[in-house]
Amino acid sequence: MTPTAKSNEAAARTSALAARMTYPGGSVALPLLRGSEGELGVDIQKLRSATGMITMDPGYANTGSCRSAITFIDGEKGILRYRGYPIEELAAKSSFLEVAWLLIHGELPERTELAEFTAEIKRHTMLHENFRQFYAALPKDAHPMPVAAAAIGALATFYQQPDKDRGVHDAVIRLVAKMPTIAAWSYKHSLGQPLLYPRNDLDYCSNFLHMMFATPCEAYPVDPVMAQALDLLLILHADHEQNCSTSTVRMVGSSQANLFASISAGISALWGPLHGGANQAVIQMLERIAAEDGSAAQFVARAKNRNDTARLMGFGHRVYKNHDPRARILKETCARVLQRAGASSELFEIAVQLEEIALHDEYFIERRLYPNVDFYSGIIYMALGIPVNMFTVLFALGRLPGWIAQWLEMREDPDFRIYRPRQIYTGAPLRHYAPPAPGA
Ligand code: SDX
């Protein structure tokens, strides 16, 4: 389904360069890999067999886990491209399902391909009726992220051969098609309202908003501007190379666990407040500043204070040491959506103040901390009427095609093998068991 990794392998192995590592007892030449954008990496696959040593890199901040042709990020320049296309162009001209096809297949779809893909998605939006009992068993205040992780994992009980031949194709379609229904049903369940069937006469985002806000007693006419804003949000979240949740999807998939199990694990990883959960944490931070009538400057001072647990959520990034291009696009979208929704701009104004102060503050400048994708996204979700605890599941909805594309690419990689990092042991030396002394 995706260009074979052979093209990545060729692109990443043309370098004839090598690094030489000298260590107590000898030295070893390590080949350098050069990516298609010229970035270099040291290939340490032979390091342990040649030297008996491993590398250490907590958080994998300096470690590449794979070759990938899906997404390119230049954190220094604030560049993000899906399959070579700048995020700014896709955000302005494409649609979420077109971007999903691009990420999964490697090329933009022909008009007929997109039409068939869209039609196939529409034919799989319903969940098995047994899922109504699944939701009924959950507490009303269940957070939508564990609900989504459990429901996606449960798809493997209904479709029990997701990895065989056409099974992978069908699993991809079912995931993209059913995720909006799974997300909307978790919201409806929390309200005690009926779980609405999807409407296949609506486009992908309008159908989601319909399932979220319509009831059997009252239709919900979807505002096309709001549906388009949601489509943009999903495009901006669609992939982001080897982030925490994507690496989790690859890790689980590397054991040859099926696609549903791998995506379910990725959803759980995304839930963390340092990752996808940050969009919910940003709104809670902005609401706290607004409620305490505290100034943005006071909060920034707290975020800089090592003894204070406050963090400027939605700021900072492992890779971007410049503006996250997604944050720029979202900031521009906020004003348009707030105005259309007639919603209060108080939180947006506080966010803009926080950004303005932080970007001129030595602490943030020195650490190259800029707004990331989560800083403004929650403001738009709120204007769409999405409840705060649903923000991260919307992030998962957007990231789904990226997770799928990365999982497929891993399975087709000629270097495919189970992920199994090593460690430096720091525990007790050899000792022998002795039963506790009597009376001890
Ligand atoms: C996403 O990886 C991806 O691509 C993720 C993502 C995607 O699309 O998949 O882009 C989505 O997860 C965006 C990030 C959302 N998380 C947040 O907004 C939470 C707040 N940000 C941070 O916790 C932090 O910036 C991380 C987790 C995003 C990055 O952490 P790193 O790379 O491990 O950096 P770090 O924590 O070591 O920070 C470096 C320094 C530290 O100060 P010193 O110890 O050097 O004095 O910067 C400080 C940190 O204390 N710092 C912050 C800060 N972020 C980092 N200080 C105040 N506020 C912040 N937000």
Q: pLDDT value at position 3?
A: 46
- What does CATH list as the number for 86-413? 1.10.580.10
Specify whether the CB–CB gap between 322 and 80 falls below 8 A. no
Question: From atom 24 of ligand 1, which residue's Cα is the shortest distance away?
Answer: 316
In sequence order, the 6+-apart residues with CB closer than 8 A to the CB of 52 are none
Q: State residue 1's pLDDT score.
A: 40
Nearest alpha carbon, ligand 1 atom 39: 367
Q: Give me the percent of the chain exceeding a pLDDT of 90.
A: 90
Sheet with 26-34: strands ordered across: 18-23, 26-34, 40-42
| Spatial separation of the C-alpha atoms in residues 291 and 285, rounded to whole Å | 10
pLDDT for res 12:
52
Q: Write the Ramachandran bin of 342: left for phi over 0, alpha for psi from -120 to 50, otherwise beta.
A: left
Band of residue 13 on the pLDDT scale cut at 50, 70, 90:
low
Query: Tens of pLDDT along 253-299?
Result: 999 999 999 999 999 999 999 999 999 999 999 999 999 877 888 89
Report the alpha-carbon distance of residue 252 to residue 264 in Å, rounded: 10
Distant-in-sequence, close-in-space partners of 26: CB < 8 Å, separation ≥ 6: 51
Among 2-6, 240-244, 301-305, 399-403, which is the least confidently predicted range?
2-6
- pLDDT tens readout for residues 87-114: 999 999 999 999 999 999 999 999 999 9
- Binning the chain into helix, strand and coil, the percentages to the nearest 5 are 50, 5, 40
Give helix 374-383 / helix 325-341 axis angle, nearest 10°. 20
- Per-residue HEC secondary structure of 207-265 comes to HHHHHHHCECCECCCCCHHHHHHHHHHHHHCCCCCCCHHHHHHHHHHCCCCCHHHHHHH
> Is the Cβ atom of 278 under 6 angstroms away from ligand 1?
yes
Ligand 1 centroid distance, CA of 316 (Å): 4
The encoded tokens of residue 116 equal 């068939």
The topology (CATH level 3) of 3-64 is Rubrerythrin, domain 2 (2.20.28)
Is residue 21 classed as helix, strand or coil in its secondary structure? strand
Phi then psi dihedrals of residue 72, to 5 deg:
-120, 125
Candidate of 236, 284, 311, 395 to mutate for ligand 1, largest count of ligand atoms within 8 Å of Cβ: 311
Which pLDDT band, with edges at 50, 70 and 90, does 125 fall under? very high
> Would you please indicate which residues are annotated as catalytic (active-site) residues?
317, 374
Per-residue model confidence (pLDDT) at position 82: 98
Average pLDDT, the chain: 94
310 burial via Cβ count (<10 Å: 0-12, 13-18, 19+): middle
CA distance 91 to 99: 9
- Ligand 1 centre to CA of 9 (Å) is 31
Arithmetic mean of pLDDT, 131-142: 97
Residue showing tokens 């943005």: 296
195 CB-near residues (< 8 Å, 6+ apart): 132, 135, 184, 185, 188, 189
pLDDT of the residue at 166 = 80
Tell how far the Cα of 309 is from the centroid of ligand 1, in angstroms.
Answer: 13
Confidence grade of residue 32 (pLDDT, cut at 50, 70, 90): very high
- Do 245 and 261 meet the contact criterion of CB atoms below 8 Å apart? no
CA dist list (Å): 118 to 109, 205, 269: 11, 12, 28
Q: Name which residue sits closest to atom 22 of ligand 1, judged by CA.
A: 316
CA 62, 317, 186, 329: dihedral to nearest 10 degrees? -130
Model confidence at 130, pLDDT cuts 50, 70, 90, reads very high
pLDDT, mean of residues 381-407: 97
Residues paired with residue 11 on neighbouring β-strands, in sequence order: none
Please name the residue whose Cα sits nearest to atom 54 of ligand 1.
316
Task: For 300-338, write each residue's pLDDT tens digit.
Answer: 999 999 899 888 999 999 999 999 999 999 999 998 999
Burial class (CB in 10 A: 0-12, 13-18, 19+), 194: middle
Select from 275, 302, 368, 377 the residue to mutate for testing ligand 1; criterion: most ligand atoms less than 8 Å from CB. 275
Strand partners, 85: 82
AA identity, residue 436:
P
**Confidence (pLDDT) at 128:** 97
Domain residues of the chain, as ranges? 3-64, 86-413
Distance between Cα 369 and ligand 1 center (Å): 8
Predicted model pTM:
0.94
Mean pLDDT of 19-47: 95
Structure tokens at 126: 């319903």
End-to-end Cα distance, the chain: 64
Residue 352 clears pLDDT 70, i.e. is over it: yes
